[in-house]
Homo-oligomer: A and B are copies of this chain.
Amino acid sequence: MTQERGRGRSSAVIVAVGSELLTPHKIDTNSLFLTERLNGVGFAVIQKLVVGDDPSGLSRALGYALRLADVVIVTGGLGPTADDVTRDVVAELLGAPLEESPAIVEAIRARFTARGLEMPEINRRQAAVPRGAQILENPRGTAPGLWLSAGEACLALLPGPPRELRPMFERLVQDRLAPVSDGRRVERRMIRTTGRTESHIDELARPIYEPLAARQPPVETTILASLGQIDLHLSTVGPEPEAGARVLDAAVADLAGVLGNSVVSTDGRSLPEVVGELLRRRGARVALAESCTGGLIASRLTDVPGSSAYVHGGWVLYSNEAKVALGVSRELIESHGAVSEPVAEAMAVAARDAANVEFGLAVTGIAGPGGATPSKPVGTVCLALAGTAGPPRVRRVQLPGDRERVKFQASQAGLDLLRRALLRATDAGP
């Protein structure tokens, strides 16, 4: 493999094979994992292709990819059926005739035998190896991977199913890609924020991260905004990952300084994980009272393993009767409306008291498309947090987007209200 083909880093192209990936129903996601690992050993992914189970299309795609990159990673098309054309296409393209490997036939047969089955004749196709290819073992399936030289480039053929692909690729990276990357490594950091707009984060971060591009090694920065969350990504590439790590750690510290409590994590943890960790440290528990989020906050909190230590449970109070049954007064609902600060506050207090825990968190809002009024348009959401001391904190926000977007952002806002209360120094809060 050439180290560089006209660029500063070794380059990779990922080719995903499978007609189902060209339908409106399914998307290639293996490439995210592959990209992370390739970047980790200094390879830049310069293009990605998706190709159907069509020999001539795949042949053209591979020819194109091999002219472009140092290494081409192909996923899929290694199964036993006639649809699985990757082996044949590669053999033809590289002029390397297929030869059956007795060792692979035996390994496949052994897998079937272990399950008390006979190997179907069709699985012999998976033992066909282009001459000169090296075998990549597949401990989790019948299709082995293959590693080939193709002129100046190298070609890896890997199975499509993630559980087979992932361990095989980890091994490939370690054994074959890391050694040729000449010590170049990507170092990455990520600062996750919530509660501020993208432009606000950008305004705060820009004075710090603009000069980073001129550091040694230079730092690449990207802001990725998703629903109710903005992530700052920082990375360096170079032969001295320690130098990169030092620059990045200093940059993260500077950025965390200006971003303050908007920073959810600098280690990749999600908002529910961070909230859970803060609750656990404080020995506190939370009960939810959810109207427009419909259980989403409870579900996200309990996605975290071990959350039973700090999640008591909650109420999904979708109807007014449910709210009244928990202890919200009917008069309050009638005079202020179910979506109002006083009702949110009453829900939070009722949840905290009924559960007999430290925190009650409540959300009530209009997720749409129905239910809006002139003074309360779709996206109006009231949140309240009742704690152990002081009056409840109450907020009203106006969230953009459709029903699912409003729901998710409302769940972010609720979790963030709790997070910020837990962060406050004194134990008197929230």
Contacts and interface: CB of A to CB of B under 8 A. Distances in A.
Contact of A311 (B60, B308, B318): B318
A24 B46 contact: no
Given A25-B233, A33-B24, A316-B314, A403 B303 contact: yes
B52 A57 contact: no
A332 interface: no
Given A29-B27, A31-B27, A233-B23, A48 B50 contact: yes
A35 interface: yes
B315 A314 contact: yes
A60 to B, nearest CB: 7
A299 interface: yes
A297 interface: yes
A35 B52 contact: no
Nearest to A50: B48
Contact of A49 (B32, B39, B47, B355): B47
B303 A294 contact: yes
A35 B50 CA distance: 13
A345 interface: no
A423 interface: no
A318 B24 CA distance: 38
Given A24-B36, A46-B22, A47-B50, A295 B318 contact: no
A195 to B, nearest CB: 20
B354 A325 contact: yes
B35 A22 contact: yes
Contacts of A301: 294
A303 B46 contact: no
Contacts of A302: 294-295, 316, 318, 407
B317 A313 contact: yes
A213 interface: no
A24 to B, nearest CB: 4
Nearest to A403: B305
A20 interface: yes
A339 to B, nearest CB: 12
A306 B21 CA distance: 34
A281 interface: no
A-side interface size class: 35 or more
B369 A305 contact: yes
Contacts of A280: none
Interface in A311-329: 311-319, 321-322, 325
A70 interface: no
A288 B307 CA distance: 20
Contacts of A224: 20, 25-26
Contact of A57 (B47, B293, B314, B317): B47
Interface string A48-61: 11111010010011
A141 B154 CA distance: 43
Q: Specify which of A294, A317, A355 lies most central, judged by the most chain B CB atoms within 10 Å of its CB.
A: A294
A370 interface: yes
25 contacts: A20-B224, A22-B35, A22-B48, A24-B36, A27-B28, A46-B54, A47-B50, A47-B61, A57-B68, A60-B68, A64-B64, A288-B316, A295-B296, A296-B299, A299-B407, A303-B407, A306-B370, A308-B318, A311-B319, A312-B321, A312-B322, A313-B317, A313-B318, A325-B354, A325-B355
Given A22-B46, A294-B301, 11 more contacts: A22-B45, A22-B48, A23-B35, A25-B233, A48-B50, A288-B295, A294-B299, A295-B316, A308-B371, A316-B316, A325-B354
